[in-house]
Amino acid sequence: MSETHRTGRWFGLAGAALIAVGVGLVGQVPSLVLLGGLGVTLSAYDRVAVPPAANVSIQRSITPTDPALGERVTVALTVRNDGSRTIPDLRLADGVPDSVRVVEGSASLGTALRPGASTTITYEITGGTDRCVFDPATVVVRDVVGVVARRTRVTAEPDTVTWEQPASSALLPLVPAVARRPGTVPVDEGGEGVSFYAVREHRSNDPLSRVDWNQYARTGDLRTVEFRREQSATVVVVVDARSAAALAPRPDAETAIERSTMAAVALVEGLPEDGHEVGVAAYSPHGAWLAPGTSAAHQQQARDLLRTDRAFAATSVTRTPDTTKLIAQLPTAANVVFLGPLCDDDSEALVRRLAASGHPVTVLSPDPTATDTAGHRLARLERRERLRRLRAAGIAVHDWPATEPLEQVTERAWRGGQ
Amino acid sequence: MIPRTGAVCGGAALAAGVVTLFVAGISAVSTAAALVGVVLLAGGQLIQSGRLIDGASASLFLALLVAALQGATTTTVLVAGGATVLAWTFAHAAVDLYADLGTAPGTPVELTHVAGTTGLVGGAVVVTTLLFQLDVPPLSPLALASVVLGAIALTAALRR
């Protein structure tokens, strides 16, 4: 289906012609009347012009066809004039999916095409986290002057690109909470476990395997080794996906929301392996919530939510999210892993509220700041100060520079650095 | 800075404006009006303002009217008129192309537009000039105006 419309480019030409004729009559100047004739001729063209037929075919090529997560994809779009008339003005905009960004080249083109001729544009996209479907390309053709246009949508094949998820999993050292089931979160309490905690006097019902036989051989005293007890936790991964978090150090770099979501997917993959129950929540005006769980189906549900729900995509809505509702949804004393750039006071306030509500909070903060301008440097300093204040409040905060992969940050976190 | 896309049309618009300035600038008033027109034309493209371009074209048209009233030849008036229409059209095309394509490549469209529109308007100017030079029974301005007004009425009746 194509629709034709007048662009109004020569709107007013007939009026100017009338003025010329009027002035020519009053001033007895034949040349002005003739000029009016020229205006009328051109106005007549404006009225009778028809746009060329938008008889074009478009072919899209996508390389690589199965990109890994974060990999750039090159899209080449070839448009061909299948009609028998020259198209003097063809403008094309590819239907790039909302969830990806064009980082190199342009997804638009303006050209003129003879019958049978074709031209190609190439551009690169990135930022997709799953299956992305291209919309049909929009094609607008005009006559040579541009007084009339025909708009149509042309489907190009292939129209799908799927970023393969390597299903990278990540683990973060979680902050100890009250004792619940045995698991991997160390608590400051001796008992069953794997890492040494203390040695105490032997009691008659202690298992023989925990008797410190070396000590017995040296001194003849029976003593029992205690290990650090570890427990599994209920974890809720909260992703800051507000417009205030859609920040990146460079226009073509990943935004903090994309990095946070990627880290959330990795945590959702990794944490259940250690027996933790993982839930997902969005700190976004759209809101999203998935209660903690450990099953494979639940894990898949969490992944789908993170990859496809609009609450985890950049939004233009600036409404403040309902933090009270967000906190009320969290299970009692659930571990919270907060993922956000912490570039504004609202996110800092939320982290403090979460901690104040009795939730052990771990913050993993993708750093979106840059140093190219004084303003950017100031924003960087403010963010560092915010991180420092949170650490001072006893919250585990892990800074994630834009140049570091997630694994490096988690490794550092396990080693105890921040 | 004029954005890269639209630069060809923008340059052509300025060139056409300068043609009007030189052709219609036969007196101080018409030169001043045309100069204002050219400056506004450049400004309109710099800030991507269609209204400023309309104002610039109106100023060029005013220069043309003044020149005609002060005795410019028929050829001068028609050439300046054609150049004014071209300056107006090209400047709008430059703004429009930049709005549509941004930094995307669009030079073929611009070259085709400049060549095609110049051909169309130039052809209309040449035909009108030749018609005037045919020494058929000379028409009084009133008769000529009647013909033009009749043509306007006919044009208005053309399909919209």
Angle, CA A307 vertex, CA A304 and CA A308 arms, to 5°:
80
Query: Do residue A41 and residue B117 have CB atoms under 8 angstroms apart?
Result: no
Residue type present at position A170:
A
pLDDT tens per residue, range A390-409: 999 888 899 999 888 888 88
Residue the block writes with tokens 């250690």: A274
| Residue B7 near chain A (CB below 8 Å) | no
Query: Do residue B77 and residue A13 have CB atoms under 8 angstroms apart?
Result: no
Pinpoint the alpha helices (H) of B6-106.
Answer: 7-24, 28-46, 50-69, 74-101
Q: Identify which of B68, B109, B144 has the shortest CB distance to residue A110.
A: B109
Residue A227: per-residue pLDDT: 61
pLDDT at residue A159 greater than cutoff 90: no
Q: Identify which of A29, A48, A121 has the shortest CB distance to residue B158.
A: A48
| Percent composition of chain A: helix, strand, coil (DSSP 3-state, to 5) | 30, 35, 35
Q: Identify which of B5, B116, B128 has the shortest CB distance to residue A145.
A: B116
| Residue B89 near chain A (CB below 8 Å) | yes
**C-alpha span between A16 and A312 (Å, rounded):** 55
Q: What is the mean pLDDT of chain A?
A: 84
**C-alpha span between B99 and B3 (Å, rounded):** 10
Query: Do residue A42 and residue B121 have CB atoms under 8 angstroms apart?
Result: yes
Residue A170: per-residue pLDDT: 67
Higher pLDDT pick, B100 / B83? B83
pLDDT at residue A166 greater than cutoff 60: no
Higher pLDDT pick, B95 / A305? B95
Strands A288-293 and A87-95: unpaired
Count of alpha carbons within 13 angstroms of residue A20, beta-carbon side: 35
Residue B1: per-residue pLDDT: 40
Beta partners for residue A3, in sequence order: A151
Query: Do residue B145 and residue A146 have CB atoms under 8 angstroms apart?
Result: no
pLDDT tens per residue, range B40-52: 999 999 999 999 9
Residue A169: per-residue pLDDT: 64
Residue A181: per-residue pLDDT: 43
How confident is the model over A224-229, as a mean pLDDT? 64
What does each C-alpha distance from A205 to A193, A210, A211, A228, A350 come to in angstroms? 18, 11, 11, 19, 47
Q: In chain A, which among 357-416 make CB contacts under 8 A with chain B?
A: none
Q: In chain A, which among 138-177 make CB contacts under 8 A with chain B?
A: 140, 144-146
Distance from CA of A383 to the nearest CA of B (A): 34
Which residue from A407, A406, A386, A383 is spatially nearest to A395, judged by alpha carbons? A386
In sequence order, what are the residues at sequence separation of 6 or more whose Cβ sits closer than 8 angstroms to the Cβ of residue B7? B94, B110
pLDDT-based confidence at A189, cuts 50/70/90?
low
| Residue A118 near chain B (CB below 8 Å) | no
DSSP run (H or E) holding A33: helix A30-48
Q: Find which of A155-164, A220-229, A287-296 is predicted with most confidence, using mean pLDDT.
A: A287-296
The DSSP output letter for B13 is H
Cβ atoms A123, A102 nearer than 8 A: yes
In sequence order, what are the residues at sequence separation of 6 or more whose Cβ sits closer than 8 angstroms to the Cβ of residue A324? none
- Widest Cα–Cα separation across chain B: 56
**C-alpha span between A164 and A313 (Å, rounded):** 18
**3-class DSSP assignment, residue A241:** coil
How many CB atoms are closer than 10 A to CB A95? Answer: 18
pTM above 0.90, yes or no: no
Q: Find which of A25-29, A69-73, A191-195, A364-368 is predicted with most confidence, using mean pLDDT.
A: A364-368
pLDDT tens per residue, range A39-90: 988 988 888 888 988 889 999 999 888 888 778 899 999 999 999 999 999 9
pLDDT at residue A185 greater than cutoff 70: no
Cβ atoms B86, B80 nearer than 8 A: no
**C-alpha span between A7 and A142 (Å, rounded):** 9
Query: Do residue A110 and residue B97 have CB atoms under 8 angstroms apart?
Result: yes
Polymer length of chain A = 418
Higher pLDDT pick, A225 / A382? A382
Cβ atoms A242, A321 nearer than 8 A: yes
